């Protein structure tokens, strides 16, 4: 016969371990990165839950991305390993099949020269030779690119995305689609109801396709992952200013190792080329015609817009 003490202990234990049938497991705490008033929060699958500024979300529900190997789509989810520090969150995805593919997605958040920069470094390795083209797709933003997205076009002027479905920067590698040609891998758009802009940029050493919802690129099977691992950088920059500010932040972020050129480069309004026309006199005739058309008092004048002062010379 049980003693009173045994009965009481048994009752206490049953209270401690009996869980209601409709109870839900405790929610996993988001993985966070912080820089000043900015914060990024990720779930355990590597998806961005939200980007917050002073506690207010400005972007949310962005997946980690996906790969396309031939006709197969591989979703970046259920990472094999997740590591976190104060400065970065790293997700490592592996697939134990014949492809031997592995992807490391490294996230950082920083503030640089008045801008907030979300950096994604993508490293891809493969134990075997690619049997098909490998395309990578990373979500660009939580909403589709608007029609007024600014593009630095290949002809040297700025333009709008408009009704175009994509914008393409072509260099090494190939692309899974086509789009309006870009001079540099960058698109920029104003945030609705806010004074800031979002600029999305990639490194310049590989081709990049900016679709309405993603940044994509392709490693051709005939070349494979040449450096193994192949590494790309995708930056999402939140900053104030006009499209020309996007260019400044592009160089400060994606090309931060390249020294800036002299200030006087920005005073150049036109460059004239001539391939020895008219017996070598064509170039000189062009200069003479410009000298007549542009008197000295206007030769160093900058276009007055957005509060810019005129050039101090002449």
**Higher-confidence position of 8 and 302:** 302
- Residue 260 scores a pLDDT above 90: no
Kindly report the CA angle at 78 between 72 and 81, in degrees rounded to 5?
120
Question: Per-residue pLDDT tens for 180-224?
Answer: 999 999 999 998 777 789 999 999 999 999 999 999 999 999 888
Residue 76 and residue 175: Cα distance in Å, rounded?
20
Task: For 265-308, give the secondary structure using H, E and C.
Answer: HHHCCCCCCCCCHHHHCHHHHHHHHHHHHCCHHHCCCCCCCCCC
pTM of the model: 0.78
What CATH number labels 31-253?
A: 2.70.98
Residue 280 banded pLDDT, cuts 50, 70, 90: confident
Q: What is residue 204's predicted lDDT score, i.e. its pLDDT?
A: 94
Cis previous bond, 229, omega within 30: yes
**Using an 8 Å Cβ cutoff, are 144 and 116 in contact?**
no
Torsion of CA 77, 78, 83, 86, to 10 degrees: 50
**Using an 8 Å Cβ cutoff, are 153 and 133 in contact?**
no
117, containing H or E segment: strand 115-126
What strands, in cross-sheet order, belong to the sheet with 56-62?
A: 31-35, 38-42, 48-53, 56-62
Q: What is residue 154's predicted lDDT score, i.e. its pLDDT?
A: 93
Choose the weakest-confidence range: 54-58, 69-73, 100-104, 303-307. 303-307
Q: What is residue 27's predicted lDDT score, i.e. its pLDDT?
A: 52
Task: Determine the average pLDDT of the residues in 111-137.
Answer: 91
Kindly report the CA angle at 142 between 117 and 125, in degrees rounded to 5?
65
**Using an 8 Å Cβ cutoff, are 101 and 69 in contact?**
yes
**Using an 8 Å Cβ cutoff, are 249 and 118 in contact?**
no
Residues 6+ apart with CB under 8 A from 291: none
**Using an 8 Å Cβ cutoff, are 40 and 109 in contact?**
yes
What strands, in cross-sheet order, belong to the sheet with 166-169?
A: 72-75, 66-69, 134-139, 214-219, 208-211, 166-169, 180-181
Domain segments of the chain as ranges:
31-253, 269-314
- Residue 158 scores a pLDDT above 70: yes
Residue 78 and residue 95: Cα distance in Å, rounded?
11
């Amino acid at each position: 016969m049980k003693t009173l003490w045994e009965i009481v202990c048994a009752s206490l234990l049953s209270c401690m371990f009996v869980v209601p049938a409709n109870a839900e497991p405790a929610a996993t705490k988001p993985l966070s990165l912080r820089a000043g008033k900015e914060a990024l929060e990720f779930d355990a699958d590597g998806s961005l839950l939200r980007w917050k500024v002073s506690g207010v979300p400005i972007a949310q529900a962005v997946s980690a991305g996906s790969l396309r190997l031939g006709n197969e789509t591989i979703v970046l989810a259920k990472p094999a390993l997740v590591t976190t520090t104060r400065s970065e969150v790293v997700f490592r995805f592996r697939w134990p099949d014949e492809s031997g593919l592995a992807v490391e997605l490294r996230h950082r958040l920083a503030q640089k020269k008045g801008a907030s920069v979300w950096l994604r470094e993508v490293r891809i390795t493969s134990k075997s030779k690619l049997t098909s083209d490998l395309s990578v797709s990373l979500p660009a933003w939580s909403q589709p690119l608007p029609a007024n997205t600014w593009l630095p076009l290949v002809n040297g002027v700025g333009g709008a995305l408009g009704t175009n479905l994509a914008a393409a920067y072509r260099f090494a590698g190939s692309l899974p689609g086509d789009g309006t040609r870009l001079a540099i891998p960058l698109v920029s758009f104003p945030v609705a109801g806010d004074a800031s802009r979002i600029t999305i940029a990639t490194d310049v050493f590989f081709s990049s396709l900016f679709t309405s919802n993603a940044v994509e690129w392709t490693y051709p099977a005939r070349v494979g992952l040449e450096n193994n691992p192949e590494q790309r950088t995708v930056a999402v920059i939140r900053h104030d200013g006009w499209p020309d500010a996007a260019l400044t932040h592009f160089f400060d972020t994606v090309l931060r190792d390249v020294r800036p050129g002299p200030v006087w480069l920005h005073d150049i309004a036109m460059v004239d080329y001539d391939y020895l026309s008219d017996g070598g006199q064509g170039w000189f005739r062009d200069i003479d015609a410009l000298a007549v058309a542009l008197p000295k008092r206007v030769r160093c004048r900058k276009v007055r817009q957005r509060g810019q002062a005129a050039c101090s010379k002449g």
